[in-house]
Each structure stands twice: as structure tokens, then as C-alpha cells.
Amino acid sequence: MVSVLIIGQPNVGKTSFLLNFARYLGLEEVKFMIKQPAGFISTRTYTLDQAYDTLISDDPHKTDNIHSIKLNLPVGKHNKVIRLVDSCGLSDEGDINIKNRKAMAQTLQELIESEIILHMIDLSQFQSDFHLGVIDQEIYSFLFNKAGYKVLANKVDLDFGFKKLSKLNKVVDKRLVIPISALYQEGFTKVKSFLLENV
Ligand SMILES: Nc1nc2c(ncn2[C@@H]2O[C@H](COP(=O)(O)OP(=O)(O)OP(=O)(O)O)[C@@H](O)[C@H]2O)c(=O)[nH]1
Ligand SMILES: [Mg+2]
């Protein structure tokens, strides 16, 4: 099964995207496979409302292990099946505890193993006219030539969302960018088309 990894800094909206994309595809509950940093795998099923309450937060590093779900992408009368993977946010701050460091190592392992990468950037945190932040630049430089890589410019619904988007489009190849709102399901049709083209 093709793995589609959602990667990015903490708090950019990765978990919100996974859950709302599942809702957009018609799911009412989600069954997660959870890879613990210690190595074992567990499963957990939530209704989408329970999952929003439990898994999304304003605090960084809310997701601290690899959470994946199986999704069917409809093509005519058939489906293409993907494994959509939520990950621990990557951060270059100095005071990260050992648990989150291990979780970030898991994210990098998934990065190597995944066929498709959705790199999420939070437009509300994007400041510069000239460059990405360090972590986003590292991810972008590593992946921009890879088939199956897209930048999801999230939170376009917020004030200045589209102004920030034009700044972002100056520092990355704008053909690689899909503007979205993970909260309001904006841009999801484009994300689905991209996935169908690459699965
Ligand atoms: N306005 C707006 N807020 C969003 C959007 N997507 C996510 N958020 C908010 O951003 C915050 C972080 O969302 P999460 O989905 O937990 O982000 P994450 O990247 O999974 O965070 P970590 O797991 O901590 O790395 C929450 O308060 C969400 O409600 C969006 O499209 N628009
Ligand atoms: Mg999360």
C-alpha cells in the first residue's frame, strides 16, 4: 500500500488535515495504527468528533508518534487505497525532551520509506520574503525534485492567508504548492487529485 506522509513543523495542522480529509472522503470514524517509539504497534478507533477532541491541540508536539489510517480514494467504481500517515512535528528548538526526539527520529524514518510526502507549512507563521525557516528549508531542499512531493500551504482561511501565500510562492516553486485550509476542507479536491495521480 502506498504511504502518504504528512510532515512539517509542530502545530501547523497535520492532524487536523488527516482527520478532515477522512471526513471529506465520507468517513465517520477512523481506525489508527499507532507506532510507538519503543517499537510496538497498537490500534485505536475514534469517531471523528472524539478524534478532534483528543488528538488536536494548540500545544506543540501533541502528536508524538506515527499515527496512520487506511483510506480509500474513489476512482469511478473503484478505489485506490493509501496509508495516510500523521507524524510528530520536526523542530530545531533546543529544549526538546527525549520522547519527542525519538518521535522526530520516527518521522525521519517514515520520510525515507514513504512514496508520497505532503509537507505542511503554516502560512500564519510564515514571515520572510526571502527564505523558508530552517526546518522547512531542509525538508524542501531534500524533496523538491522528488515525484510525489507537495507543499500544503495551510491556514489560508486566516487573516493575511493569501498575502502570506504570495510570499511563500516567491521562495518555493509555486507549482509544488497547494493552498489549503485543513480546518474548512479548502483545497482538498486538489490534494485528492494529486494523490490519485501519484498512487
Ligand atoms: N485557522 C486554522 N486553524 C487551523 C487549521 N488547521 C489547524 N488549525 C489549528 O492549528 C492548531 C494545531 O493543529 P493540529 O492539527 O493539532 O497541528 P499538528 O501539526 O498536528 O500539531 P502537532 O501534532 O503538535 O505537531 C489547532 O488549534 C488547530 O485547530 C486551519 O486550516 N485553519
Ligand atoms: Mg498533530
pLDDT digits (tens, 9 = 90+) for 72-126: 999 988 999 999 999 999 999 888 899 899 999 999 999 999 999 999 999 999 8
Give the mutation target among 6, 7, 12, 16 for probing the ligand 1 site: most ligand atoms within 8 A of CB.
Answer: 16
- Give the chain's domain count: 1
**Alpha carbons 17 and 7: distance in angstroms, whole number:** 11
Give residue 129's Cα distance to chain centre: 24
Give the per-residue SS3 of the chain.
CEEEEEEECCCCCHHHHHHHHHHHCCCCEEEEEEECCCCCEEEEEEEHHHHHHHHCCCCCCCCCCEEEEEEEEEECCEEEEEEEEECCCCCCCCCCCHHHHHHHHHHHHHHHHCCEEEEEEEHHHCCCCCCCCHHHHHHHHHHCCCCCEEEEEECCCCCCHHHHHHHHHHHCCHHHEEECECCCCECHHHHHHHHHHHC
Give the residue numbers spanning the domain of 124. Answer: 2-198
Distance 19 CA to ligand 2 centre (A): 10
Q: What is the pLDDT of residue 161?
A: 87
User: What percentage of residues in the chain have a pLDDT greater than 90?
Assistant: 85
Cα of 76 from ligand 2 centre, angstroms: 32
Spacing, Cα 77 to ligand 2 middle (Å):
33
Averaged over 129-133, what is the pLDDT?
A: 85
Atom 5 of ligand 1: nearest residue by CA position: 183
* Of the candidate ranges 101-115, 127-141, 149-163, the one whose mean pLDDT is the lowest: 127-141
Distance 14 CA to ligand 1 centre (A): 7
Q: How many CA atoms lie within 13 Å of 36's alpha carbon, on the beta-carbon side?
A: 7
CA of 146 to the centre of ligand 2 (A): 24
- Minimum mean pLDDT among 13-27, 110-124, 125-139, 174-188: which range? 125-139
| Span between the terminal Cα atoms of the chain, in Å | 9
Categorise residue 133: left if φ over 0, alpha if ψ from -120 to 50, beta otherwise: beta
Closest-lying ligand 1 atom to the alpha carbon of residue 58: 27
Q: Render pLDDT for 36-78 as a digit per residue (tens, 0 to 9).
A: 877 889 999 999 999 999 999 999 999 999 999 999 999 988 9
What CATH number is given to the structural domain containing 114?
3.40.50.300
pTM: 0.97
* Residue list, ligand 1 pocket, CB within 6 Å: 10-16, 56-58, 60-63, 89, 154-155, 157-158, 181-183
pLDDT at 90: 97
Q: Are 13 and 56 in contact (CB under 8 A)?
A: no
Q: Supply the residue whose CA is at minimum distance from atom 27 of ligand 1.
A: 58
